Protein backbone atom coordinates (compact mmCIF):
# COMPACT_ATOMS: atom_id res chain seq x y z
CA UNK A 1 0.00 0.00 0.00
CA UNK A 2 2.69 2.42 1.05
CA UNK A 3 4.82 1.72 -2.02
CA UNK A 4 1.89 2.17 -4.39
CA UNK A 5 1.26 5.57 -2.92
CA UNK A 6 4.97 6.37 -3.15
CA UNK A 7 5.07 5.41 -6.81
CA UNK A 8 2.03 7.54 -7.52
CA UNK A 9 3.57 10.57 -5.82
CA UNK A 10 6.83 10.07 -7.68
CA UNK A 11 4.99 9.95 -10.97
CA UNK A 12 2.96 12.99 -10.08
CA UNK A 13 6.07 14.96 -9.14
CA UNK A 14 7.73 13.88 -12.37
CA UNK A 15 4.75 14.91 -14.48
CA UNK A 16 4.65 18.32 -12.79
CA UNK A 17 8.36 18.77 -13.40
CA UNK A 18 7.97 18.10 -17.11
CA UNK A 19 4.96 20.38 -17.34
CA UNK A 20 6.73 23.24 -15.57
CA UNK A 21 9.85 22.92 -17.73
CA UNK A 22 7.71 23.09 -20.84
CA UNK A 23 5.52 26.03 -19.88
CA UNK A 24 7.81 28.20 -17.74
CA UNK A 25 10.79 28.44 -20.01
CA UNK A 26 9.46 28.75 -23.50
CA UNK A 27 9.62 32.55 -23.61
CA UNK A 28 13.01 32.63 -21.91
CA UNK A 29 14.35 30.31 -24.58
CA UNK A 30 12.71 32.10 -27.52
CA UNK A 31 12.38 35.76 -26.49
CA UNK A 32 11.94 36.84 -30.13
CA UNK A 33 8.53 35.17 -30.17
CA UNK A 34 7.22 37.81 -27.79
CA UNK A 35 8.49 40.79 -29.78
CA UNK A 36 8.05 39.61 -33.35
CA UNK A 37 7.29 42.60 -35.57
CA UNK A 38 5.50 41.51 -38.74
CA UNK A 39 4.55 44.96 -40.02
CA UNK A 40 6.26 46.35 -43.12
CA UNK A 41 8.18 43.19 -43.88
CA UNK A 42 10.64 43.76 -46.71
CA UNK A 43 11.64 41.25 -49.36
CA UNK A 44 15.18 42.62 -49.59
CA UNK A 45 15.80 43.07 -45.86
CA UNK A 46 13.79 40.23 -44.29
CA UNK A 47 12.95 37.50 -46.79
CA UNK A 48 15.92 37.34 -49.15
CA UNK A 49 18.62 36.93 -46.45
CA UNK A 50 16.75 33.88 -45.06
CA UNK A 51 16.46 32.32 -48.50
CA UNK A 52 20.12 33.01 -49.22
CA UNK A 53 21.37 31.42 -46.04
CA UNK A 54 18.85 28.56 -45.69
CA UNK A 55 17.43 27.67 -49.09
CA UNK A 56 19.36 28.83 -52.14
CA UNK A 57 22.04 26.18 -51.71
CA UNK A 58 19.52 23.62 -52.97
CA UNK A 59 17.14 25.83 -54.94
CA UNK A 60 19.15 27.89 -57.43
CA UNK A 61 19.24 28.04 -61.21
CA UNK A 62 22.01 25.44 -61.36
CA UNK A 63 20.62 23.06 -58.72
CA UNK A 64 16.85 23.03 -58.61
CA UNK A 65 16.13 20.31 -56.08
CA UNK A 66 12.51 19.22 -56.18
CA UNK A 67 12.26 21.35 -59.38
CA UNK A 68 12.18 24.45 -57.18
CA UNK A 69 14.25 27.49 -58.18
CA UNK A 70 14.22 30.29 -55.60
CA UNK A 71 16.85 32.40 -57.35
CA UNK A 72 15.57 35.83 -58.29
CA UNK A 73 12.51 37.71 -57.11
CA UNK A 74 10.20 36.50 -59.90
CA UNK A 75 10.83 32.85 -59.01
CA UNK A 76 10.37 33.48 -55.28
CA UNK A 77 7.13 35.34 -55.92
CA UNK A 78 5.75 32.42 -57.95
CA UNK A 79 6.42 29.98 -55.09
CA UNK A 80 5.08 32.50 -52.57
CA UNK A 81 1.84 32.97 -54.48
CA UNK A 82 1.15 29.30 -55.15
CA UNK A 83 1.25 28.68 -51.39
CA UNK A 84 4.10 26.18 -51.44
CA UNK A 85 6.72 28.51 -49.94
CA UNK A 86 4.67 29.00 -46.79
CA UNK A 87 3.43 25.40 -46.68
CA UNK A 88 6.98 24.10 -46.77
CA UNK A 89 8.52 26.45 -44.17
CA UNK A 90 5.52 26.09 -41.83
CA UNK A 91 5.78 22.29 -42.21
CA UNK A 92 2.08 22.06 -43.08
CA UNK A 93 0.56 18.71 -43.98
CA UNK A 94 0.88 17.98 -47.67
CA UNK A 95 4.10 19.96 -48.17
CA UNK A 96 7.72 18.86 -48.09
CA UNK A 97 9.09 20.36 -44.81
CA UNK A 98 11.85 22.93 -45.47
CA UNK A 99 14.66 23.18 -44.67
CA UNK A 100 14.70 19.39 -44.97
CA UNK A 101 17.51 18.75 -42.47
CA UNK A 102 17.73 20.07 -38.93
CA UNK A 103 15.26 22.38 -37.31
CA UNK A 104 12.45 24.54 -38.58
CA UNK A 105 13.07 28.26 -39.17
CA UNK A 106 12.48 30.39 -36.03
CA UNK A 107 8.76 31.15 -35.46
CA UNK A 108 9.26 34.89 -36.00
CA UNK A 109 11.00 34.31 -39.33
CA UNK A 110 8.09 32.15 -40.47
CA UNK A 111 5.58 34.78 -39.29
CA UNK A 112 7.44 37.52 -41.16
CA UNK A 113 7.54 35.55 -44.40
CA UNK A 114 3.84 34.78 -44.01
CA UNK A 115 3.08 38.49 -43.50
CA UNK A 116 5.09 39.30 -46.64
CA UNK A 117 3.20 36.66 -48.65
CA UNK A 118 -0.14 37.87 -47.28
CA UNK A 119 0.79 41.40 -48.38
CA UNK A 120 1.04 40.08 -51.95
CA UNK A 121 4.76 39.17 -51.92
CA UNK A 122 5.91 42.66 -53.01
CA UNK A 123 9.39 43.40 -54.35
CA UNK A 124 10.12 45.86 -51.57
C1 LIG B 1 19.43 20.32 -48.56
C2 LIG B 1 18.70 20.80 -49.70
C3 LIG B 1 17.51 21.69 -49.46
C4 LIG B 1 17.42 22.84 -48.71
C5 LIG B 1 18.52 23.49 -47.86
C6 LIG B 1 16.10 23.36 -48.90
N7 LIG B 1 15.39 22.55 -49.72
FE8 LIG B 1 13.49 22.88 -50.41
N9 LIG B 1 13.50 21.08 -51.32
C10 LIG B 1 14.56 20.20 -51.38
C11 LIG B 1 14.14 18.97 -52.01
C12 LIG B 1 15.00 17.73 -52.23
C13 LIG B 1 12.76 19.15 -52.33
C14 LIG B 1 11.81 18.12 -52.92
C15 LIG B 1 11.25 17.38 -51.72
C16 LIG B 1 10.11 16.52 -52.01
O17 LIG B 1 9.44 16.70 -53.02
O18 LIG B 1 9.85 15.64 -51.16
C19 LIG B 1 12.41 20.49 -51.92
C20 LIG B 1 11.16 21.04 -52.09
C21 LIG B 1 10.84 22.36 -51.80
C22 LIG B 1 9.58 23.01 -52.10
C23 LIG B 1 8.37 22.35 -52.75
C24 LIG B 1 7.58 21.81 -51.55
C25 LIG B 1 6.29 21.20 -51.94
O26 LIG B 1 5.74 20.48 -51.10
O27 LIG B 1 5.82 21.44 -53.05
C28 LIG B 1 9.67 24.28 -51.68
C29 LIG B 1 8.62 25.37 -51.79
C30 LIG B 1 10.96 24.43 -51.06
N31 LIG B 1 11.65 23.25 -51.16
C32 LIG B 1 11.39 25.57 -50.44
C33 LIG B 1 12.52 25.63 -49.63
C34 LIG B 1 12.82 26.72 -48.75
C35 LIG B 1 11.96 27.97 -48.60
C36 LIG B 1 13.99 26.43 -48.14
C37 LIG B 1 14.71 27.23 -47.09
C38 LIG B 1 13.98 27.53 -45.89
C39 LIG B 1 14.44 25.15 -48.65
N40 LIG B 1 13.51 24.69 -49.53
C41 LIG B 1 15.62 24.52 -48.29
C42 LIG B 1 15.85 20.45 -50.92
C43 LIG B 1 16.21 21.51 -50.10
- Count of residues in the chain: 124
Q: pLDDT digit string (tens) for 65-113?
A: 999 999 999 999 999 999 999 999 999 999 999 999 989 999 999 999 9
Instruction: Determine contact, residues 77/83, Cβ cutoff 8 Å.
Output: no
Residue 120 reports pLDDT greater than 70? yes
Separation of alpha carbons 45 and 42, rounded Å: 5
Separation of alpha carbons 5 and 93, rounded Å: 43
Largest CA distance in the chain: 71
Q: pLDDT digit string (tens) for 23-37?
A: 556 556 665 546 899
Separation of alpha carbons 80 and 110, rounded Å: 12
Lowest-confidence segment of 9-18, 41-50, 70-79 by average pLDDT: 9-18
**Confidence band for 7, pLDDT divided at 50, 70 and 90:** confident
C-alpha of residue 89 to centroid of ligand 1, in Å: 9
80 by Cβ neighbours in 10 Å (0-12 / 13-18 / 19+) ranks as buried
Which residue from 94, 100, 105, 107 has its CB within 8 A of the most atoms of ligand 1, so it is best to mutate? 100
Amino acid sequence: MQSKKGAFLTMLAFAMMIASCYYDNREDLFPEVAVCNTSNVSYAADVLPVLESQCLGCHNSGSQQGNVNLEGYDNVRAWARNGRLYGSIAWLNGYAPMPPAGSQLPPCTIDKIKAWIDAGAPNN
